[in-house]
Structure 1
Amino acid sequence: MNKLASKTAIVTGGSRGIGANICTSLAAAGAKVVVNYARNQAAAEEVVSRIEAAGGQAINVQADVSLAADVRKLFDVAEQEFGQVDILVNNAGVVHYKTIEVTTDEEFDRVMRVNVYGTFYGMREAATRLADGGRVINLSSSAVRMMLPTYGPYCATKGAVEQMTRSFAKEMGPRGITVNAVSPGSTETEMFLGNNESEKIERMRNLAALGRLGKVEDMGPVVVFLASEDGGWGTGQVLPVNGGTA
C-alpha cells in the first residue's frame, strides 16, 4: 500500500500510544515520517527503528509543542531532511482528570498549553509551510460530547481544538488543504490506563456499543484515510472513532 508515497508527515507526540501507531501506519502507507517527542527519546527511536525495519523512512525530532519556537524547529528539521511537508498530525496532548473546583492555575495552564497552544502553533506553521493539497489532522476526544465529571479542563481544550479545526478548514480550503479532527473514545494507552482506576476503566468499556475499549491500532488507519486521496473530499469534520460510545 503506497497511498502516501512521496509524502512527508509530521506527527507530534509520536513516540507512544496512539501517536506511535499513527507514525507506523503513515509509514506503511509510504510516507516519510517525522516522529516528534518531548522527553522520551528512547521511545521515539524505537518507533523509528520499527519503521526502518519495515522498509520505511523516519527520523525523530525533539520539540515541546507548547513552545512556538520548538514547533518552528520541528518544521525546519522536517524540511531539511525530507523536503516540503505534506501532512501534519497534531497528536501531542496531556490528560487532566480533576474537578474544576480543585484544578490549580498551573494545572489548567499546562493542559491548555500542550493541547490548545500546541495544536494552534502547529496549524499556524502549516498555514504557510504545508504543501498545496496537504492534510492537517488534529486529535480531539469523544469526551467532548459527554457529561463526565473531572473532565472539564481537558474537554475545554479538545472543544477548542475542534472549533479551530473547522475555522482552519475554511482558511486552507483555497489551497486544497483539508483539515479534520479524529475523536477517539477511551483507548488502551498508557496515558488512559495509568490515570484511571479499574472501576472507571470498566465503566468506559461498557459505554461502547461494541463493548470494549479502543486499541491504538484502531486509530492509525483512520488517519491514513484522511491523509490520502481517499479522504480528500472531507474537510472541517470531526470523525468519532469510539466504538459507539458517544
Structure 2
Amino acid sequence: MSFTVKGKKALVTGGTRGVGRGIVLALAREGVDVITCYRQDGELAGSLERELKEIGGQHAVVRADLTDSEQVTALLGECESRFGRLDLVVNNAAAISHIPYGELPIEEWRRVVDTNLTSVHLVIQGALPLLGAGSSVVSISSKSIEVGIPLRAHYTATKAALLGLNKSLAKEFGARGIRFNVLSLGMIYTEAFDAMPAKQREQMVERYSGMISLGRLGSPDEVAGAVLWLAGDLSRYVTGAVVPVDGGIS
C-alpha cells in the first residue's frame, strides 16, 4: 500500500474558507486535482485561485449554490468535463446560525437543512456516475452532535443526520468499492476566530483548550490530514466509520 494520492481527482464543497480551504490546499499540494465551489462572490475565491495556480495542477474554483439542484448538476458536469471521474468527494459546505429553538423561523430551519443535508444528498447522488471502485466520499460532521449545543438545534440535527446517511450508503455501495466516511470535528481554529474581538477570542480559546486532551484547538491542516488518509489506499478497508478529529475533547 502507498500513501500517495497524486493524480486523484477531487470535489470539495465550500472550499474557499476555513476547514474547506485547508482541505483544498492540502490536496493540491499532494498532487490531487481539485474542483471546489463557493456560494457568494468575494476576495476569498480569487485568493484561493491564486494559491492553487502557484501550487500547480488542474484546479477550478466554481460558484455554485448547492441548495439549487440545477447548480449542483452544473457543478458535477464541470467535474465530468474536466476530469471524467471523481476519486474523492468531500462534503464540507455548511450553514450555521444561533437562534433560540422556540424562535427558530421555518425559513431558517429550511436554509440550514437544505445547505447541510439536502445539498450533501444532491452532491453524492449526482456524483455516483463519476465514482468508481476505490473512490472515497467524506462528509464533515461535528462533535457537537454528541452533546447538543443550545441555540444550534437545527445545525446539530443536520450534522447528526449525516451519520445515518453515511452508514446506509456505505452498505449500499460497498459492493461497488465506494467508501463513505464521516469526520467528526472538534474545535478547529479558523479565520472565524480572527474576526472576533480580541478578548472574546482569547476567552474562547482558553475555555475550549481546557476541555481538550491535547490542550489546544485544531487546525484546518489537521483536518486535511484525515481527509488525505481517507482518500488513499491506507484506509481502503475503512467505510461507514465516524472518525473523530477533535484532539480528545470532552
- Structure 1 gaps of 5+ residues are none
C-alpha RMSD of the superposition? 2.0
For residues 215 and 43 of structure 1, the distance between their equivalents in structure 2, rounded to whole angstroms, comes to: 18
Q: CA offsets per residue over residues 22-72 of structure 1, 9 Å max, x none?
A: 001111221100021111353223223212212333111111111111111
Corresponding letter in the other structure for 2:209? R
For residues 106 and 65 of structure 1, the distance between their equivalents in structure 2, rounded to whole angstroms, comes to: 17
Deviates more, 1:191-200 or 1:55-64: 191-200
Give the structure 2 partner of residue 146 of structure 1.
147
Deviates more, 1:113-122 or 1:195-204: 195-204
Is 1:109 matched up with 2:102? no
Is 1:180 matched up with 2:184? no
- Residue 135 of structure 1 aligns to a residue whose secondary structure is strand
How far off its partner does 1:173 sit? 0.6
Is 1:242 matched up with 2:243? no
For residues 23 and 233 of structure 2, the distance between their equivalents in structure 1, rounded to whole angstroms, comes to: 17
Give the structure 1 partner of residue 62 of structure 2.
61
For residues 83 and 237 of structure 2, the distance between their equivalents in structure 1, rounded to whole angstroms, comes to: 26
Give the structure 2 partner of residue 219 of structure 1.
223
- Residue 140 of structure 1 aligns to a residue whose secondary structure is strand
For residues 3 and 248 of structure 2, the distance between their equivalents in structure 1, rounded to whole angstroms, comes to: 30
For residues 207 and 52 of structure 2, the distance between their equivalents in structure 1, rounded to whole angstroms, comes to: 35
For residues 112 and 208 of structure 2, the distance between their equivalents in structure 1, rounded to whole angstroms, comes to: 22
The sequence identity of aligned pairs, in percent, is: 33
For residues 232 and 30 of structure 2, the distance between their equivalents in structure 1, rounded to whole angstroms, comes to: 9
* Equivalent residues, number: 246
Q: 1:15 to 1:239 in 2, by over 3 A?
A: same
Q: CA offsets per residue over residues 100-156 of structure 1, 9 Å max, x none?
A: 112111111111110011111111112233233211000000111113322211110
Give TM-score scaled by structure 1 length.
0.92
Is 1:206 matched up with 2:210? yes
- Structure 2 gaps of 5+ residues are none
Is 1:32 matched up with 2:36? no
Give TM-score scaled by structure 2 length.
0.91
